[in-house]
């Protein structure tokens, strides 16, 4: 679809969150269709996880985003979908790959939302495809267990914070979950949640560096808990790490069932977003260093540095591999 | 894309206007892309006309609408696009043709919005295709001239109208044109206008028959005048004709440039919408007869009857042809 | 326009904020049109103040809201607009007055947003109308000066608050101002701000009483400061007072110019919203009493009680007058 002014920031770059939302919608359609392709219990595919996603080039207002999706692996109870986004300038005809994303969906029964139904197996062109898919499946399963344990953290506000400290840029946003945010099962679309997460992360990044910023990448996101229609969700973001030219922001989503529900507030999702700051000509700008104050902040900064160096090493290994 | 609760009426049927808007967006993308496919002046395709469109089957919330578009004819300054919409129930896999529409676009220069640029010719598989396209081109050109003359009519409110009279159901809606309603040239997307027209026509129809109603068809719509960002548009609808099971509603769009413009209010578009009333099981219901009071209303009723009979005859001829 | 699922809360009642937004749009259109009706500098009317507004009856999904606006007074630099909202059930034909609102607009030059242009005078049917309008004008002018002084307050978060305390229900919401939120001048529509304020107030009210709630009234709101496109606005709400069946919530709007602006965060608007809690049958429910802890909270509770008793006395005086 054509990118509109409302999809973009003041510099005309389309929000990463808008693109994540389109990706997730495409993934939800293809996996729901697949899971209902054989006689069996009607079901709706719910997003369980998005793998790390890089935004390779910014999309601008007026460009057309082309989204294509393909099922690349199925386990007994989950579907892996690969989604590619191309942006196309329909005036010049120029096309660019914007990003490639991998998503995992789990089919939930339409009659009983707590029941996961079986996924019809797909046919693989080659045996290795199945093996590689199985490997990815095992890896993400492990990773999901790990993040589940790290999810107790809260963000507390700071009074009169100094510029460039963590407290200075941290932000939260409240959203009341409406009908258009939800699937047929009455739970929030993963894409809606990701769009809100990107919005908060973008506000944190812009507050820190006071310039035009764009999403560079999103780390793997696990959706542990469903969020029901009518809930209030609080999306909070804080900066964890800065390199010379990038910022890492941790985002939490907490849900409050809020009406007619005995349940307490719970952590539904958390993720790391990386942002870069761009000049008017689209060149990366230096980013002010994050000032850490508490022991916790210093620890998180070091962990962020670890993730940053790991990603950098991985990318260089890929470049070398490609050059060979 | 997946149809959401906000796309539908209280009975869960997606508004015809939502579908018209998707159709127009697809048409605008393909024709803008085509008109910029050769080195030349960058341009944006503006909707000039939509041919009569029938809604063959209602679309429901949760279904996926698949829109495909193809260029079927080019004249020197215009592009004919054929758009097909299929609705797909991703749970059952059932697919239905929702409608087929034909749209005409005119490429306007990005630098000078009053300049129409030249359209690169397309290749035809067979010579007859070109001839048939040319015939359609000439026909619509003639028809556009005719409607241009009929455009002086106004709708005046009636105090304490009787049920089932024209004054009883007539309605208007005012909309302030925002940035997301507009193309790169700063003019309203034709699809946005059609969606608002369908909304008003739907209110008129529901006021008349007090039941659940759906769009059955839209007569050819000509877009004589562009509408600029910041304008206020008034969309007015009145019932012109009822058969046993259908209602015809005439809709006018008047634009008010309103700030910074010396121009008076002007008629931008007008069209006829046909609605049917459906029971909860989706069966057509009888419609109360429209009570005409003035000479004007009786004349419009007769004209509507003429259009109704003509369409009916045409459809029967097609059915007979198909049966042979 | 027809009320959609997204306009309403889980019980199907349309948010007061949606209605306030429609009212403000109607007021902005009629006053901008009036101020441009004579040859002179093109201008856009900006909302300066909304008088106290009562919501007389809830509106439901599927109903049509009819908004009508009329200019009732003009001073040299401001316009008073009276807006009436009727909700209509188009299936039964039943109509109800939803609310009546009075708004004040100031015309700002399109070329220089800091210049207030002159308002063409309107004609009054009777001399008293002008005198009464002048009296209203003087009263609101005085009131605007007063609120300007009261605007220094901040909301600080509380860790682990007890149920029914002020800290327990207080909430804030962040919004990034996009193009569709803004007028032609690039400043936020007053109606957009009011909608967000109502959203926060509704979340505070629902957190306090854990039931379905609706807006009962909004006190006079003064718009002291414009908010520019690209700003981040923080809307915070806290409960100030509860009677047996109503809750008063104070809402602040703070703007953060945020990119490319030397300006500090500033208080743009503040207002009091009153909510009631409704049972599924639409009957008012008792509200848990607000537990005040600090001296400040006790003082605000007493002030809220004063406003509550004053409004109650006023309403009874009106009823007695009407009965005579």
Chain A residue nearest residue B88, CA to CA: A33
Return left, alpha or beta for C58; rule: phi > 0 is left, psi -120 to 50 is alpha, else beta: beta
CB pair distance less than 8 Å for A157 and C159: no
CB pair distance less than 8 Å for A29 and B5: no
C2-146 and C166-323 in the same fold:
yes
Could you tell me the two tokens for B108?
Answer: 């306007």
pLDDT on residue A10 = 64
Q: What is the dihedral of CA C121, C123, C128, C129, to 10 degrees?
A: -80
Q: What is the number of residues in chain C?
A: 324
Query: Which one is catalytic: C13, C36, C99, C198?
Result: C198
Give residue A318's pLDDT band: very low, low, confident or very high (50, 70, 90). confident
**Does the pLDDT of residue C260 top 60, yes or no?**
no
pLDDT on residue B298 = 96
State how far the alpha carbon of C250 is from the alpha carbons of A234, B287, C157, C305, C309, in Å. Answer: 20, 51, 15, 13, 17
Helices A190-209, A16-35: axis angle to 10 degrees equals 160
State how far the alpha carbon of C290 is from the alpha carbons of B3, B285, C219, C277, C312, in Å. Answer: 42, 54, 20, 14, 20
Helices (runs of H) and strands (runs of E) counted in chain C: 5, 11
> Which residues touch B57 (CB under 8 Å, ≥6 apart)?
B87, B96, B97, B98
CB-based contact, B116 to chain A, within 8 Å: no
Interface test mutation site (partner C, options A178, A192, A215, A227, max chain C beta carbons within 10 A): A178
Contact of A219 with A272, CB cutoff 8 Å: yes
| Residue B198 among the catalytic residues | yes
If residue C105 lies in a helix (H) or strand (E), which one and from where to where? strand C95-109
| Rounded Cα–Cα distance for residues B76 and C111 (Å) | 40
Q: What is the mean pLDDT of residues A301-323?
A: 89
Using CB atoms, which residue from C4, C25, C44 is nearest to B6?
A: C4
pLDDT on residue C230 = 77
| Rounded Cα–Cα distance for residues C216 and C284 (Å) | 11
pLDDT in tens, B33-47: 899 988 788 899 999
- Kindly report the nearest CA distance between residue C39 and chain A, in angstroms: 32
* Coil, helix or strand at residue B292: coil
Percent of chain B with pLDDT over 70: 97
- Kindly report the nearest CA distance between residue B214 and chain A, in angstroms: 21
Class of B2-146 in CATH: alpha beta
Closest by CA position to A22, among listed A2, A37, A42? A2
Chain C residue nearest residue B8, CA to CA: C4
Q: Domain segments of chain B: what residues?
A: 2-146, 166-323
CB-based contact, B182 to chain C, within 8 Å: no
> Which residues touch C61 (CB under 8 Å, ≥6 apart)?
B10, C3, C4, C5, C7, C8, C12, C14
pLDDT on residue B136 = 95
> Mean pLDDT, chain A, as a whole number?
87
**Does the pLDDT of residue A151 top 60, yes or no?**
no
> Which residues touch C44 (CB under 8 Å, ≥6 apart)?
B259, C32, C107, C108, C110, C183, C184, C185
Q: What is the mean pLDDT of residues A76-97?
A: 89
CB-based contact, A210 to chain C, within 8 Å: yes
Question: In this predicted structure, which of A7-16, A289-298, B247-256, C165-174 has the lowest mean pLDDT?
Answer: A7-16
- Kindly report the nearest CA distance between residue A34 and chain B, in angstroms: 8
Using CB atoms, which residue from B5, B44, B88 is nearest to A180?
A: B5
CB pair distance less than 8 Å for C179 and B176: no
pLDDT on residue C289 = 96
| Rounded Cα–Cα distance for residues C179 and C171 (Å) | 25
> Mean pLDDT, chain B, as a whole number?
89
Closest by CA position to B212, among listed C92, C94, C91, C63? C91
Could you tell me the two tokens for A22?
Answer: 């389109």
Query: Which one is catalytic: A7, A13, A181, A198?
Result: A198
- Kindly report the nearest CA distance between residue C46 and chain B, in angstroms: 13
CB-based contact, C110 to chain B, within 8 Å: yes
pLDDT on residue A149 = 55
pLDDT in tens, C151-203: 556 677 777 788 999 998 998 887 878 888 888 888 899 999 999 999 899 88
**Does the pLDDT of residue C85 top 60, yes or no?**
yes
CB pair distance less than 8 Å for C93 and B230: no
Count CB-CB contacts under 10 A for residue B214: 22
CB pair distance less than 8 Å for A36 and B92: yes
CB-based contact, B257 to chain C, within 8 Å: no
* pTM (2 d.p.): 0.81
State how far the alpha carbon of B102 is from the alpha carbons of B116, B144, B220, B312, in Å. Answer: 21, 15, 9, 20
pLDDT on residue C301 = 97
> Which of A286-290, B11-15, C112-116 has the largest mean confidence?
A286-290
Closest by CA position to C181, among listed C173, C171, C172, C192? C192
- Kindly report the nearest CA distance between residue A231 and chain C, in angstroms: 10
Q: What pairing do the DSSP bridges indicate for beta strands A43-50 and C79-88?
A: unpaired
CB-based contact, A232 to chain C, within 8 Å: yes
Interface test mutation site (partner A, options B5, B40, B63, B90, max chain A beta carbons within 10 A): B90
Q: What is the mean pLDDT of residues B23-31?
A: 91
**Does the pLDDT of residue B260 top 80, yes or no?**
no
Q: Which chains touch B (3 or more CB pairs under 8 A)?
A: A, C
Contact of A90 with A63, CB cutoff 8 Å: yes
Q: Which chains touch A (3 or more CB pairs under 8 A)?
A: B, C
Give residue A152's pLDDT band: very low, low, confident or very high (50, 70, 90). low
Closest by CA position to B21, among listed B149, B207, B197, B228? B197
CB-based contact, B297 to chain C, within 8 Å: no
> Which residues touch A268 (CB under 8 Å, ≥6 apart)?
A193, A223, A224, A225, A226, A227, A233, A253, A254, A255
pLDDT on residue A92 = 81
Percent of chain A with pLDDT over 90: 46
Contact of C255 with C233, CB cutoff 8 Å: yes
Return left, alpha or beta for C282; rule: phi > 0 is left, psi -120 to 50 is alpha, else beta: left
pLDDT on residue B183 = 83
| Rounded Cα–Cα distance for residues B256 and B266 (Å) | 7
Q: What is the mean pLDDT of residues A7-14?
A: 74
| Rounded Cα–Cα distance for residues A168 and A210 (Å) | 12
pLDDT in tens, A175-208: 878 777 888 788 899 999 999 999 899 989 988 9
Question: % helix / strand / coil in chain A, to the nearest 5?
Answer: 30, 35, 35
**Does the pLDDT of residue C149 top 60, yes or no?**
no
Q: Write the DSSP string, A27-76.
A: HHHHHHHHHTSSSS--EEEEEEEE--EE--S--BTTPEEEEEEEEEEE-S
Sign of CA dihedral A28, A34, A35, A41: positive
| Rounded Cα–Cα distance for residues C170 and C178 (Å) | 26
CATH topology for the B166-323 domain: Thiol Ester Dehydrase; Chain A (3.10.129)
**Does the pLDDT of residue A276 top 60, yes or no?**
yes
Contact of A201 with A237, CB cutoff 8 Å: yes
Chain B residue nearest residue A108, CA to CA: B91
Q: What is the mean pLDDT of residues C7-18?
A: 76
| Residue B7 among the catalytic residues | no
Q: Which chains touch C (3 or more CB pairs under 8 A)?
A: A, B
Half-sphere exposure of B117 (CA within 13 A, CB side): 24
CB pair distance less than 8 Å for A178 and C5: yes
Exposed, middle or buried, A186 (CB in 10 Å: 0-12/13-18/19+)?
middle
Contact of B201 with B249, CB cutoff 8 Å: yes
- Kindly report the nearest CA distance between residue A4 and chain C, in angstroms: 10
pLDDT on residue B132 = 95
Could you tell me the two tokens for A118?
Answer: 């079986």
Residues of C in contact with A175 (CB under 8 A): 173
- Kindly report the nearest CA distance between residue A5 and chain B, in angstroms: 6
Closest by CA position to C187, among listed C109, C247, C265, C131? C109
Contact of B294 with B156, CB cutoff 8 Å: no
Interface test mutation site (partner C, options A192, A206, A215, max chain C beta carbons within 10 A): A206
Strand partners, B14: B8
pLDDT on residue A261 = 61
Q: What is the number of residues in chain A?
A: 324
Could you tell me the two tokens for C118?
Answer: 């002159």
CB-based contact, C182 to chain A, within 8 Å: no
Give residue A215's pLDDT band: very low, low, confident or very high (50, 70, 90). very high
CB pair distance less than 8 Å for C180 and B178: yes
pLDDT in tens, B113-165: 889 999 999 999 999 999 999 999 999 998 887 766 555 677 777 888 899 99
Residues of C in contact with B179 (CB under 8 A): 179-180
């Amino acid at each position: 679809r054509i990118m509109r002014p409302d999809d973009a920031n003041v510099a005309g770059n389309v929000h990463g969150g808008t693109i994540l939302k389109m990706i997730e919608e495409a993934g939800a359609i293809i996996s729901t269709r697949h899971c209902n392709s054989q006689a069996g219990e009607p079901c709706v595919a719910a997003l369980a996880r998005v793998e790390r996603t890089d935004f390779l080039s910014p999309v601008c207002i007026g460009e057309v985003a082309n989204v294509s999706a393909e099922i690349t692996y199925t386990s007994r109870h989950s579907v892996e979908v690969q989604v590619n986004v191309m942006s196309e300038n329909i005036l010049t005809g120029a096309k660019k790959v914007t990003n490639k994303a991998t998503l995992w969906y789990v089919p939930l029964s339409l009659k009983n939302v707590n029941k996961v139904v079986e996924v019809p197996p797909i046919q693989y062109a080659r045996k290795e495809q199945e093996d590689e898919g199985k490997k990815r499946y095992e890896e993400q399963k492990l990773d999901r267990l790990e993040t589940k344990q790290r999810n107790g953290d809260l963000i507390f506000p700071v009074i009169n914070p100094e510029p460039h400290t963590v407290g200075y840029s941290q932000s939260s946003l409240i959203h009341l979950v409406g009908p258009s945010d939800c699937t047929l099962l009455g739970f929030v679309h993963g894409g809606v949640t990701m769009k809100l997460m990107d919005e908060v992360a973008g506000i944190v990044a812009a507050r820190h560096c006071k310039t035009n910023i764009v999403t560079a990448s999103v780390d793997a996101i696990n959706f542990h808990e469903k969020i029901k229609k009518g809930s209030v969700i609080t999306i909070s973001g804080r900066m964890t790490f800065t390199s010379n030219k990038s910022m890492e922001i941790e985002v939490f989503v907490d849900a409050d069932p809020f009406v007619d529900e005995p349940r307490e507030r719970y952590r539904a999702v958390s993720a790391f977003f990386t942002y870069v700051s761009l000049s008017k000509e689209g060149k990366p700008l230096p980013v002010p260093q994050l000032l850490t104050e508490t022991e916790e902040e210093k620890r998180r900064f070091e962990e962020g540095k670890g993730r940053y160096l790991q990603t950098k090493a991985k990318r260089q290994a890929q470049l070398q591999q490609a050059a060979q």
